[in-house]
Amino acid sequence: MTASVTVRVPAKVNVQLAVGPLRTDGFHDLANVFLAVGLYDEVTVRPADELRVTCSGADAAQVPLDRTNLAARAALALAARHGREANVHIHIDKDIPVAGGMAGGSADGAGALLACDALWGTGASREELLEICAELGSDVPFSLVGGAALGRGRGELLTPLETGGTFSWVFAVADGGLSTPAVYAECDRLRGTTPVPDPEPSAALLAALRTGDATALAAAVSNDLQPAAVSLRPSLAATLAAGEEAGALAAMVSGSGPTTAFLTAGEAEAEKVADALRSSGTCRAVRVTSGPVPGATVCGTARSS
Ligand code: C5P
């Protein structure tokens, strides 16, 4: 019998986040270019009397442990589809910033889903897993798939993208999180009555990803949620400026923020930008990593004797 399954799931950064007008269902159509980067949460599931979620890691205290946690919702959704109880203990070892615009909650949803599928021997198809992911949240399918992908619709309709190399990133973690719905609402408020075009992926950006050209990618990155995130958290402007001054090729808010993302020319440049951000006093923590990396992956299975 399988005693536990552990799944490792990466964070994401959006190299393009083009936000269309507000839809009648409360979402926005997007042209969302995701890149999975090497900061990971690890989700471990093991049989238990009832559904339970625990969390470890520096920011564990900020993670909800009730049924609003996407990991718990993922287990419940898979169990309901397969006519079984979601009687598992889900443990999240959290390294992705909480409410940071890096899809940490989505990562835990995708991780728990894949882990429960393996633990229970559900044998769900990739298609079914992706369908459940889309029900859980707009960014959850990408956490399963990883790599680089274009998300259309509300971000859940994915087309994998080819990438010609690895990109070096620095992430500046801010104090506290930002609520995704609040950032979208602020984006609508700032836009007022200005007509909003349908979101389209940037051809230059897709070409830069394909060729692995960091300078060209930096020239093409964009995030329509950035003005809203900075409006709600004005101190982000100083973090962005600090990274730019230190030589980042591009400085941007990651998704709905408040984590800021800095694309650099390579590993040495990333370390230089990271040092400058650390001494700038404009952020809580600094992380250096790269992407693309694979999506949710089973990395450990223990068997009981
Ligand atoms: O899908 P998810 O649960 O991550 O969305 C959280 C919230 O973010 C939504 O309720 C909505 O307010 C906003 N959102 C949006 N348009 C999207 C994705 C999310 O307005 N494409």
Atom of ligand 1 nearest to the CA of 138: 1
Sheet of strand 250-253, all strands in order from the earlier edge strand to the far edge: 250-253, 260-264, 167-173, 285-291
Would you say 98 and 179 are in contact if contact means Cβ atoms under 8 Å apart? no
If you measure from the C-alpha of residue 157 to the centroid of ligand 1, how many angstroms do you get, rounded to a whole number? 14
The mean pLDDT of 185-214, rounded to a whole number, is 97
DSSP assignment of 109-167: HHHHHHHHHHHHT----HHHHHHHHHHH-TTHHHHHHBSEEEEETTTTEEEE---SS-E
Cα dihedral: 129, 148, 295, 126 (round 10): 20
Would you say 13 and 292 are in contact if contact means Cβ atoms under 8 Å apart? no
State pLDDT tens for residues 221-262: 999 999 999 999 999 999 999 999 999 999 999 999 999 999
Burial class (CB in 10 A: 0-12, 13-18, 19+), 153: middle
How far is Cα 98 from Cα 59, in angstroms, rounded to an integer? 7
How far is Cα 219 from Cα 210, in angstroms, rounded to an integer? 15
Would the CA dihedral through 80, 135, 295, 175 be positive or negative? negative
How far is Cα 169 from Cα 136, in angstroms, rounded to an integer? 28
How far is Cα 23 from Cα 20, in angstroms, rounded to an integer? 8
Would you say 266 and 251 are in contact if contact means Cβ atoms under 8 Å apart? no
**Against a cut of 0.90, is the pTM above it?**
yes
State pLDDT tens for residues 259-275: 999 999 999 999 999 99
- β-bridge partners, 40: 10
**Would you state the structure tokens that stand for residue 63, as one six-digit string?**
């993670």
Ligand-binding site membership of 100 (annotated)? yes
State pLDDT tens for residues 86-141: 999 999 999 999 989 999 999 999 999 999 999 999 999 999 999 999 999 999 99
Ligand-binding site membership of 101 (annotated)? yes
Ligand 1, pocket-test mutation among 19, 27, 29, 108, most atoms within 8 A of CB: 27
Domains and CATH numbers, the chain: 2-161 (3.30.230.10), 167-291 (3.30.70.890)
Helix (H) / strand (E) element for 32: namely strand 28-47
Task: Say if residue 305's pLDDT is above 90.
Answer: no
Q: Which residue has the tokens 């894949």?
A: 114
SS3 296: coil
- Ligand 1 pocket by C-beta < 6 Å: which residues? 26-28, 30, 137-139, 154-155, 180-181, 184
